[in-house]
Amino acid sequence: MKKSKHKRRRRPPIGASPGTLVVPEGSPAPRLRAMHYTAETLHEVGIASLGELDGLTRQGGFLWLDVHGLGDERVIRAIGERFELHRLEVEDVVHVHQRPKIEPYEKHLFLVASMIRMVDGAMDIEQLSLFVGADFVLTFQEREGNGDVLDPVRERVRQAKGTIRRSMPCYLAYAILDAIVDAYFPVMDEIGTRLEGLEDAVLERQRPEMLRELNEIRAHLLKLRRIVSSQRDALLSMTKEPLSFVTDDVRLYLRDVADHCVQIADLIEAQREIGAGLLNTYLTLIANRTNDVMKVLTIIATIFIPLTFLVGVYGMNFEYMPELEWPWAYPALLAIMLAMGLAMVAYFRRKGWMG
């Protein structure tokens, strides 16, 4: 039995009260990691209980609380209460599969972004829920790992000389979003490479498996387009929301990230067009090939069927067939048949069916 490819999302039961938390199946228990920084100091610690945060934030500075794993409803809820998140926001954090979006609240901004990687030809999408306040950044990821995307940002926080350390939390949020969007480019590259390979393969040989792969790629592109366009909208509306804790400079940077989204959307459209062209090529090549096969059959049949009829005539056993007794009849017939065959070949040549 084949396993279903259609991933069912876990959802709260129909009619459940809002704010009901259904943690994603298989997500590990939350692991909390805090980075508390000022331009001069940096404390990076694993957090076991939320109370530890108070010690960190007491002396001012900014906090990045980095949560991996959504497997324990109570921890998530506790964080929500600590940072005064709305219960709909907390719900959105665990109900991963949101479109990228932005929701401004009075004291913080809630952002959903999609981190995308290609893993063995499949598109792996992970939701990043990001909260920015005046003095904190809060990120939630479903899984451990995938650190490759955010790790460079963490590294830059650790470097005392970087801009992040000297800037407001909104700059850190920008750095995270920039890293996420930049990670779309390698995904596009991989899809581009696959499309290219497919194009070469189709020109050489047409097989139904290629169609399946093409459909898969087009599904990827469709999904990507949706994500990227939501991401761009979210980024642009973030540059426009009049929020006290987003600086003008960061707005400019966010517009730049939105520009990258537009570039990616362009690439997606170009690749969708290539995909559509590929399907046409595939269909046309099959039609061409069927035409070639038919021509071979027709040439052979048209040359030999009449000749076979002719030799059949002189294979008849009638008693009165005068030709049979003529001594030159056999070579004459051979000559006639040769002439007929050559005439046919000439005819097909002229029709352009040969060579």
Dist. CA 191–CA 33, nearest whole Å: 34
Rounded CA-CA distance 102/232 in Å is: 10
Q: How many CA atoms lie within 13 A of 174 on its CB side?
A: 25
Least distance in angstroms from the C-beta of 153 to a copy of itself: 5
Rule CB under 8 A: which of 73-92 touch a copy of itself? 86, 88, 91
Of 38, 41, 59, 193, the one binding a copy of itself (CB under 8 A) is 193
18 vs 26, which CB is nearer to a copy of itself?
18
Strands 136-141 and 122-133: antiparallel
25 lies in the binding site for a copy of itself (CB under 8 A):
no
Note whether 38 binds a copy of itself by CB under 8 A: no
When asked if residue 327 is in the footprint of a copy of itself (CB under 8 A), the reply is: yes
Does residue 316 interact with a copy of itself by CB under 8 A?
Answer: yes
Contact map string, positions 272 to 311, toward a copy of itself, x by CB under 8 A: -xx--x-xxxxxxxxxxxxx-xxxxxx-xxx-xxxxxx-x
Angle in degrees, CA 50, 56, 61, rounded to 5 = 125
Q: What is the sign of the dihedral through the CA atoms of 116, 110, 238 and 177? A: negative
Of the listed pieces 37-45, 71-79, 143-151, 231-239, which binds a copy of itself according to CB under 8 A? 143-151
By CB under 8 A, tell whether 241 contacts a copy of itself: no
From residue 20, alpha-carbon distances to 103, 141, 163, 259 in Å are 20, 19, 40, 37
Binding mask 48-67 for a copy of itself (x = CB under 8 A): --------------------
- What's the one-letter identity of residue 290? T
Q: Which is nearer to a copy of itself, 55 or 197 (CB)?
A: 197
Residues 6+ apart with CB under 8 A from 176: 113, 128, 130, 137, 139, 150, 153
* Binds a copy of itself (CB under 8 A): choice among 22, 45, 56, 183: 183
Integer CA distances (angstroms), 231 to 42, 131, 224, 259, 338, in order: 31, 15, 10, 11, 74
Measured from the CB atom, is 135 or 330 closer to a copy of itself? 330
Shortest Å distance, C-beta 265 to a copy of itself? 10
Choosing from 203, 338, 339, 343, the residue that interacts with a copy of itself (CB under 8 A) is 203
C-beta closer to a copy of itself: residue 51 or 355? 355
Contact predicate 90/19, CB 8 Å: yes
- Establish if 150 lies at the interface with a copy of itself (CB under 8 A): yes
CB 135 within 8 A of CB 63: yes
> Among the candidate windows 45-53, 55-63, 132-140, 176-184, which touches a copy of itself by CB under 8 A?
176-184
User: How far apart are CB 71 and a copy of itself at their closest, in Å?
Assistant: 22
Residue placing its CB nearer to a copy of itself in the complex, 8 or 58? 8
Query: Euclidean distance between the first and final Cα of the chain, in Å?
Result: 49
